[in-house]
Amino acid sequence: MRPNVDIQQWLQETREIIEQWINEDSVCRVAQPGAVEEAMRYSLLAGGKRLRPQLVMASTLYLGLPADTFRDAALAVEYIHTYSLIHDDLPAMDNDDLRRGRPTAHKMFPEAMAILSGDALLTEAFVKMGTIQTAKAEDVLRATVYLARAAGREGLIRGQVLDLAAERQDVELGELQNIHRHKTGALFKAALVIPAILSGNEREQQALLDFGEHFGLAFQIVDDILNVVGDPAAMGKNIGTDSALGKATYPSLVGLDQARRLADDHRIRAKIAIGSGPQSDILRRLVDFAVDRQW
Q: What is the pLDDT of residues 222-240, one digit of tens each?
A: 999 998 886 665 555 555 6
Average pLDDT of the segment spanning 106-121: 94
Query: What pLDDT, on a 0 to 100 scale, did the predictor assign at position 99?
Result: 82
Res 123 pLDDT > 70: yes
| Residue with more model confidence, 136 or 91 | 136
State how far the Cα of 181 lies from the Cα of 186, in Å rounded to an integer.
6
Q: What is the pLDDT of residues 242-283, one digit of tens each?
A: 666 677 889 989 999 999 999 999 999 999 999 999 999 999
Distance CA 35, CA 70 (A): 29
Residue 118 buriedness (CB in 10 A; 0-12 / 13-18 / 19+): buried
**pLDDT for position 46:** 87
Tell me phi and psi for residue 230, to 5 degrees.
Answer: -75, 170
As a whole number of angstroms, the distance between CA 20 and CA 18 comes to 5
For 46, the 3-state DSSP assignment is coil
Q: Is the pLDDT of residue 172 over 50?
A: yes
Q: Which residues pair with 128 in a beta bridge?
A: none
Comparison of pLDDT for 94 and 243, the residue scoring more: 94
For 17-53, the pLDDT digits (tens) are 999 999 999 888 877 888 899 999 999 998 788 999 9
- At residue 245, the pLDDT reads 67
Give burial (CB, 10 Å; 0-12/13-18/19+) of 184.
buried
Q: If you write DSSP's letter for every residue of 235-254 in order, what string do you get? A: HTS-SSHHHHTT---HHHHH
pLDDT higher than threshold 60 for residue 188:
yes
| Span 124-163, pLDDT tens digits | 999 999 999 999 999 999 999 999 999 999 999 999 999 8
Average confidence score pLDDT of the chain: 91
CB atoms inside a 10 Å sphere around CB 120 = 18
Any idea where the domains of the chain sit in the sequence?
A: 7-292
- Residue 37 CB neighbours (<10 A): 20
Residue 1 has pLDDT above 50, yes or no: no
Residue 4 pLDDT > 90, yes or no?
no
Render 67-136 in DSSP notation, one character per residue. Answer: TTTTHHHHHHHHHHHHHHHHHHTSTTTT--SEETTEE-HHHHS-HHHHHHHHHHHHHHHHHHHHT--SS-
At 232 the pLDDT is 66
With 0-12 / 13-18 / 19 or more C-beta atoms within 10 angstroms meaning exposed / middle / buried, residue 209 is middle
Answer yes or no: are the C-beta atoms of 275 and 284 closer than 8 Å.
Answer: no
What residues contact 185, with CB distance under 8 A and at least 6 apart?
A: 159, 212, 213, 216, 217, 220
Distance of CA 119 to the CA centre of its chain: 17
Residue 291 and residue 253 in contact, taking contact as beta carbons nearer than 8 Å: no
Q: Of 91, 154, 155, 86, which Cα lies nearest the Cα of 120?
A: 86
Question: Between 121 and 242, whose confidence is greater?
Answer: 121
For domain 7-292, the CATH class is: mainly alpha
> Roughly how many angstroms between the first and final C-alpha of the chain, as a whole number?
25
236: left (phi over 0), alpha (psi -120 to 50) or beta: left
* pLDDT score for 11: 96
pLDDT of residue 48: 83
Where is pLDDT greater, at 286 or 230? 286
